[in-house]
Chains A and B, each alone.
Chain A
Amino acid sequence: MKHIKTLHKGTLKDSLKNGGCGECQASCQSACKTSCTVANQACQKQ
């Protein structure tokens, strides 16, 4: 494409099928303790 370059094809919908194992880190246990950011957590399955 000339005008748009896709850098990441999101998979949020797909993750609905095989996600939810709950093994990832609780966000508030990491650095913040006040302002959680979930998107920076890593998936334990990957």
Chain B
Amino acid sequence: MVHAFEMNGFYIAVDVNTGSIHSLDRITYEILKAFPYDFSADKAIQMFGEKFGVEEVKEACHEIEQLIEQGMLYSPDLDQPLLMRQIENKSGLKALCLHVAHDCNLTCEYCFASKGSYCSERRLMPEEVAFKALEYLAQNSGDRKNIEVDFFGGEPLINFEVIKRAVDYGKELEKQYNKKFYFTITTNGTLLDEEKIDYINEYMDNVVISLDGRKSIHDAMRYYRNGKGSYDEIVDAARNLVSRRGNKSYYIRGTFTNRNLDFSEDVFHIAELGFEEISIEPVVGGGQPFHITDKHIPIILDQYERLAKRILDYIKAGNKLKFYHFNINLYGGPCIQRRLVACGAGFEYLAVSPEGHFYPCHQFVGQPQFIMGDVFKGIDDPKGLSEQFKRCNILTKEKCKDCWAKYFCSGGCHANAYYTNGSIDMPNELACLMQRKRIECALMMEVALSLESA
């Protein structure tokens, strides 16, 4: 399968099964666009001979045929049973999302966690649950050396003392089990003081701070219980943290809704505040007046394209800016095994609620039908949820099988599929449309920068 597209004056082809990327001229673009599955030089000459001249089209077809011979266009499907066995052989946990606080000092309008409480009573994770969770991860991660723990909420810094003790305990477990813990935290930024900033910069391998962009956009969604917006405190604290973080990674992470469909302005607002690592993501879910529906999609896709062009100009002018969803790693990207199963929710990645229940991921926490045991007794999964999640991948999902973007996207978010279509096997169409566009934008940027440096 070959996907050919045009963006920002570039004609680009992706060979789906190898991940090869080609820069095209107009003739080869039109030919490849007309033949996504099987190439026929005779048909191409018939279709385009008059428009471009028979000799030119013959020459273009010859180049296409050369690349087919070299295995860089129309390469055959990878061995599906072999790939399926790669998934079945995956074993061992890789990451936990610890919900250390089901409580929050903000009441963000779009919060999937019911303003931090996850539809249950407000609760903090006790130290013993955090310790047991870390032990479980260290003991059940197989031969894997690198294991990850994200401190999540609600607002995790409400339970800062338990975070500190859990990190200390993790350091002990590293020696005992020959593991390396990577700790990360996702915070709304409002509780960051000097002590917490120093601590995060020393012990957290990544920090995600929530900021939606322009003050009016941010404050309309992310406000305190008294209705006051949180923008001013967060910007000050995040700047302070980043200025002292050195080379360690961070992300300023925002959400866009249908109220800021011009979200590229928010990305650049954050960039102008001095931040270089930014992620702005579409709100998940449906049914609320701010949610994204199909009528918003054309505007959003146009925004992504504008954003990509603008970031490209910004980078060419000597500035630094990483937009999370445009960071496709063409040259050092993940192996095929990694690309088959997305986030690994349910078997490589689990979330832990404050009381210690395991869930397939943070988005399912609070839904009793998704409980998969607890940190004290281990996995108890009579419904076979773990196996269901493992078997839900780009080889089994009907919608993914024929999608050109499958090895870049890896099948999308299970929770997004479940909450919109009632099944983890049916990806959310709107998410697919946005994802494919983001991948095209990322590829266009790579092509533009490669051609410039050539």
Check if A38 sits within 8 Å of B339, measured CB to CB: yes
- Residues in B with CB closer than 8 Å to A27 are 342-343, 410
Q: Is the CB of B325 within 8 A of A34?
A: no
The answer to the question of B386 belonging to the interface, with a C-beta cut-off of 8 Å to chain A, is: no
Residues in B406-443 with C-beta less than 8 Å from chain A: 407-410, 412-413, 415-416, 431, 434-435, 438-439, 442
Q: Which residues in B have their C-beta under 8 angstroms from that of A34?
A: 281-282, 284, 363, 413, 415-416
Closest chain B residue, CB of each to CB of A5: B23
Please measure, in the bound complex, the distance between the C-alpha atom of A31 and the C-alpha atom of B348, giving whole angstroms: 18
| Cβ-defined contact, B208 with A31, below 8 A | yes
Whether A22 pairs with B446 at a CB distance below 8 angstroms is no
Q: Contacts A3-B25, A36-B343, A38-B342 given; indicate if A16 touches B67 (C-beta within 8 A).
A: no
Question: Which residue on A lies nearest to B144, using beta carbons?
Answer: A22
Task: Give A22 to B341 CA distance when docked, in angstroms.
Answer: 12
Compute how far the CA of A8 lies from the CA of B12 in the bound complex, rounded to whole angstroms. Answer: 12
Is the beta-carbon distance between A2 and B338 smaller than 8 angstroms? Answer: no
Q: Given A2-B59, A29-B95, A31-B208, A9 and B20 touching (CB < 8 A)?
A: yes
A9 → chain B closest CB, angstroms: 6
User: Does B333 lie within 8 Å of A41, measured CB to CB?
Assistant: yes
A16 to B78, CA, bound (A): 9
Given contacts A1-B66, A39-B408, contact A19 B282 (CB under 8 A): no
From known contacts A10-B18, A26-B344, infer whether A42 and B28 are also in contact, taking CB-CB under 8 Å.
no
Complex: chain A residue closest to B19, CB-CB: A10
Which stretch (B115-123, B145-153, B297-305) binds chain A?
Answer: B145-153
Contacting pair A35 B410 (CB below 8 A): no
Among B23, B142, B279, the residue within 8 A (CB) of A32 is B279
Verify B21–A4 contact, CB threshold 8 A.
Answer: no
Main SS of the interface on chain A?
loop
Question: Is the CB–CB distance between B338 and A3 below 8 Å?
Answer: no
The total of chain A residues at the interface (CB under 8 A) is 43
Question: Once the chains bind, are A4 and B251 in contact (CB under 8 Å)?
Answer: no
Q: Are B324 and A40 in contact (CB-based, < 8 A)?
A: yes
Which residues 254-282 in B have Cβ within 8 Å of A in the complex? 277, 279, 281-282
1/0 per position for B199-218, CB-CB distance to A under 8 A?
00000001010000000000
Q: Do B21 and A7 touch (CB < 8 A)?
A: yes
**Are A8 and B19 in contact, with the CB atoms below 8 A?**
yes
**B409 — which chain A residues lie within 8 A by C-beta?**
37-39
**What's the nearest-Cβ distance from chain A to residue B411, in Å?**
9
Residues of A within 8 A of B332 (CB): 42-43, 46
Contact check: which of A6, A13, A31, A41 meets B338 at CB < 8 Å?
A41
User: A13 to B343, Cβ gap below 8 A?
Assistant: no
Contact A12 B343 (CB under 8 A): no
What residues on A are CB-neighbors of B442 within 8 Å? 39-40
Which of chain A's residues have a CB closer than 8 A to the CB of B325?
32, 35, 37, 40
Select which of B20, B324, B331, B439 is within 8 A of A30 by beta carbon.
B324
User: CB of B191 within 8 A of chain A?
Assistant: no
Bound: A23/B342 CA distance, A: 14
Assess A15 versus B408: contact at CB under 8 Å? Given A22-B144, A25-B148. Answer: no
| B186 close to A37 (CB less than 8 A) | no
- A8 touches which of B20, B25, B431 (Cβ 8 Å): B20
The answer to whether A42 and B206 touch across the interface, beta carbons within 8 angstroms, is no
Chain A interface (Cβ within 8 Å of chain B)?
Answer: 1-13, 15-16, 18-44, 46
Binding site for A on B (CB under 8 A): 13, 15, 17-25, 27-28, 59-60, 63-64, 66-67, 72, 75, 78, 82-83, 86, 89-90, 92, 94-95, 97, 142, 144-146, 148, 150, 152, 182, 184, 186, 206, 208, 251, 253, 277, 279, 281-282, 284, 324-325, 327-339, 342-345, 348-349, 361-363, 407-410, 412-413, 415-416, 431, 434-435, 438-439, 442, 446-447, 450-451
Please name the 8 residue pairs, one residue from A and one from B, whose CB atoms are nearest each other, closest first: A19-B335, A10-B19, A10-B18, A20-B337, A15-B335, A31-B251, A26-B95, A28-B343
List 11 A-B pairs, Cβ < 8 Å.
A1-B63, A4-B25, A7-B21, A10-B18, A12-B336, A19-B338, A22-B144, A26-B94, A31-B253, A31-B279, A44-B146
